[in-house]
């Protein structure tokens, strides 16, 4: 299974409780695949539990985009039956998530992966880091187009909605590396899933 332990960046310098809006959107996180959580585990930290890699990676990418969080993805077994909250969860995935978030705090892209296979986990974290680096270079216009592509709109429909030419949208899609991300994410989900092997 996949545990995300997520810690607010520079929370001591901010009066804002960034965890509260995450908790308030619990139904959305559950609809997008969370088995447990989000649950606050410390003042400025929360956890999510996922059964599969795809929604776990999606959650990590969504959180990373905000720039507010250090994100640890822990992969491994979880003791069942599951408790009612992540704070009571036990198992290798929870231990790995703790190690991963501590590594993420020292990482340039503030995301790390940990699992029993430490070498593979580091490699997977590095591959995800490459995608994060690409995403960090997107302009607001690039994100606008990327979000509309994610909604399923064609480039022609995006051009019409934004009142620009299809050629302009094509250039934005290329500059934002939208196709690269669409190809990379399934591959990253696969390598992350391969870490989740019976111990």
Neighbours of 134 (CB within 10 A): 15
**pLDDT of res. 11:** 65
Report domain extents, the chain: 2-117, 140-176
List, for residues 75-97, the tens digit of each pLDDT value. Answer: 999 999 999 999 999 999 999 99
**pLDDT of res. 199:** 57
List, for residues 95-119, the tens digit of each pLDDT value. Answer: 999 999 999 999 999 999 999 999 9
| pTM for the structure as a whole | 0.93
Phi, psi of 189 (to 5 degrees): -60, -40
**pLDDT of res. 126:** 96
Q: Report the alpha-carbon distance of residue 97 to residue 159 in Å, rounded.
A: 42
Q: What is the mean pLDDT of the chain?
A: 95
The CATH code of domain 2-117 reads 3.30.70
Task: Classify burial at 1, counting beta carbons within 10 Å of its beta carbon; exposed 0-12, middle 13-18, buried 19 or more.
Answer: buried
Q: What are the residues whose beta carbons fall under 8 Å from the beta carbon of 188, sequence distance 6 or more? A: 57, 124, 127, 128, 131
List, for residues 34-66, the tens digit of each pLDDT value. Answer: 999 999 998 899 999 999 999 999 999 999 999
In a 3-state reduction of DSSP, which class is residue 47?
A: strand
Q: Report the alpha-carbon distance of residue 122 to residue 146 in Å, rounded.
A: 28
pLDDT band (50, 70, 90) for residue 128: very high
For helices 140-150 and 178-194, angle between their N-to-C axes, nearest 10 degrees: 60
Query: Does residue 197 have a pLDDT over 90?
Result: no
């Amino acid at each position: 299974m996949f545990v995300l332990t997520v810690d607010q960046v520079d929370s001591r310098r901010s009066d804002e409780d960034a965890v509260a809006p995450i908790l308030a959107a619990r139904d959305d996180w559950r609809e997008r695949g969370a088995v447990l959580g989000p649950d606050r585990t410390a003042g400025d930290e929360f956890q999510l539990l996922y059964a599969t890699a795809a929604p776990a990676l999606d959650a990590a990418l969504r959180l990373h985009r905000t720039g507010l969080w250090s994100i640890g993805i822990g992969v491994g077994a979880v003791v069942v039956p599951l408790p009612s909250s992540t704070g009571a969860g036990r198992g290798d995935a929870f231990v790995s998530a703790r190690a991963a978030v501590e590594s993420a705090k020292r990482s340039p892209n503030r995301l790390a992966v940990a699992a029993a296979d430490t070498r593979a986990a580091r490699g997977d974290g590095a591959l995800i880091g490459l995608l994060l680096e690409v995403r960090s270079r997107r302009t607001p216009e690039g994100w606008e187009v990327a979000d509309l592509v994610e909604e399923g709109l064609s480039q022609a429909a995006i051009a019409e909605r934004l009142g620009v030419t299809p050629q302009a949208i094509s250039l934005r899609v290329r500059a934002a590396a939208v196709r690269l991300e669409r190809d990379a994410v399934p591959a990253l989900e696969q390598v992350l899933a391969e870490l989740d092997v019976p111990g």
